[in-house]
Amino acid sequence: MYLLSMATLLLTDLVAHGKQVPSSYIRPLGDRPNLLYPESSPKLNIPLIDYQEFDGPGRHRVVKEIGLACQNDGFFMVKNHCIPETVVDGMLRVSREFFHLPAPERLKCYSDDPKKTTRLSTSFNVRAEKVSNWRDFLRLHCHPLEDFIHEWPANPQDFREVVGEYSKHARELALRLLEAIAESLGLEKDNLVKALGKQAQHMAINYYPPCPQPELTYGLPGHKDPNAITILLQDGVSGLQVLRDDEWVAINPVPNSLVINIGDQLQVLSNDRYKSVLHRVVVNSQRERISVPTFYCPSPDALIKPAEALIDEEHPAAYKSFTYEEYYERFWNRGLLSASCLDLFKVNN
């Protein structure tokens, strides 16, 4: 508990007293964010897809747009996503309230054990990393909801109710998006959902406090998501950047929209038709930032391999079969020192 209590108090004290970033957070000279990215560059735009017609006459168009976004960008936004605005606002509210609680109350949830299904921690992997990231996070397992909700914080008072409602809507959206992605690949619409086994759903409530020297550190360094698909809820503060054409560009929040990105498991299942993309989080000196990624994952015992229908003479299988548990153990142990560990499972390895 000592590790997180020091980190949490340090972050809040730095904000309160305007102190410098301690050496444990400072990235090497060649690995620091360039915060002078062009805010108005056309490259900043990722596709914004209106999801409203997915169940209507515009379904084919929506599926095509999602497929092109997965193929060309790895990231896209959706509007009219059917998660009620009141549910979204509630999720952001209780997230902020949790991180504004006194440190002793928050620390009731602390653990640096990644196997714990509900835990508060800091940075990414405090057991392994040499340079810390400017982030605290609350990690929650969300599916099946009834198996985990009793573990979640009881403070704020309505935390479990509000977060549980958001997680149910996020799961429904993830399943529908997986249907659309499967169709865009020419597969049966339930192909990808079945490939994920019993499935799992995790959520990270990320808190990035104002940082006195944001040019020296990251909220999170460049990485690819290890899961199948991620649904990101952002507050109104920018911080997410995506690598496009060897340049880091900002994905600024769009009101009433969610950011979607594919993870490494969908890259494998699509036999490299779609690829997960490097992204990172920068911080700022003025405003705190809240983000809530929902990670939709295979179950640990799910056997992940390229879909049979996507393998032929021109497109041989790019990956060996592996379980998601095997993959995630490698990902976690390597931390964010490596953007992805998919290369370990390539056929030519």
Break the chain into its structural domains and give their ranges.
2-345
Distance CA 343, CA 137 (A): 28
Cβ-based neighbours of 348, under 8 Å, separated by 6 or more: none
Q: What order of strands is seen across the sheet that includes strand 240-244? A: 220-223, 279-281, 240-244, 247-250
Nearest CA to 230 among 199, 267, 260, 270? 260
Mean pLDDT for 98-119 is 91
Bridge partners (DSSP) listed for residue 116: none
Residue 330 has pLDDT above 80, yes or no: yes
Higher pLDDT, 9 or 204: 204
Query: Cα dihedral sign for 112, 100, 102, 170?
Result: negative
Q: What is the mean predicted confidence (pLDDT) over 231-243? A: 95
197: exposed, middle or buried (Cβ count in 10 Å: 0-12, 13-18, 19+)? middle
Structure tokens at 33: 């964010």
DSSP labels, 184-231: HTTS-TTHHHHHTTT-EEEEEEEEE---S-GGG--SEEEE--SSSEEE
Instruction: Work out the pLDDT band at 66, boundaries 50, 70, 90.
Output: very high
Q: Are 90 and 162 in contact (CB under 8 A)?
A: yes
Report the C-alpha gap between 162 and 182 in whole angstroms.
Answer: 31
- Cα–Cα dist 126/28, whole Å: 18
**Rounded Cα distance, 135 and 124, in Å:** 8
> By mean pLDDT, which of 35-44, 101-110, 215-224 is the weakest?
35-44
* CA–CA separation, 136 and 11 (whole Å): 9
**What is the pLDDT at residue 36?**
66
CB 214 within 8 A of CB 21: no
What is the pLDDT at residue 40? 42
Provide the mean pLDDT of the chain: 89
- At residue 9, does pLDDT exceed 70? no
**pLDDT given for residue 15 in this prediction:** 55
pLDDT digits (tens, 9 = 90+) for 258-267: 999 999 999 9
Least confident interval from 2-16, 80-94, 133-147, 198-212: 2-16
- Tokens encoding 229: 């698909």
How much is the pLDDT for 10? 39
Between 125-134, 169-178, 181-190, 237-246, the lowest mean confidence (pLDDT) is in: 125-134
CATH fold of 2-345:
Jelly Rolls (2.60.120)
pLDDT of the residue at 4: 43
| Distance separating alpha carbons of residues 128 and 165, to the nearest angstrom | 34
- The 10s digit of each residue's pLDDT in 287-327 is 999 999 999 999 999 999 999 999 999 999 999 999 999 99
pLDDT at 209 over 50: yes
Rounded mean pLDDT of 243-257? 89
Residues in the chain: 349
289: left (phi over 0), alpha (psi -120 to 50) or beta: beta
Helices and strands: H and E segment counts in the chain: 9, 14
Does the pLDDT at position 44 exceed 50? yes
The whole model's pTM is what?
0.92
Q: What percent of the chain has pLDDT over 70?
A: 89
Which band of pLDDT confidence, cut at 50, 70 and 90, is reported for residue 37? low
- Looking at residue 113, the DSSP 8-state letter turns out to be -
pLDDT higher than threshold 60 for residue 1: no
Residue 8's pLDDT is 44
Residue 153 has pLDDT above 70, yes or no: yes
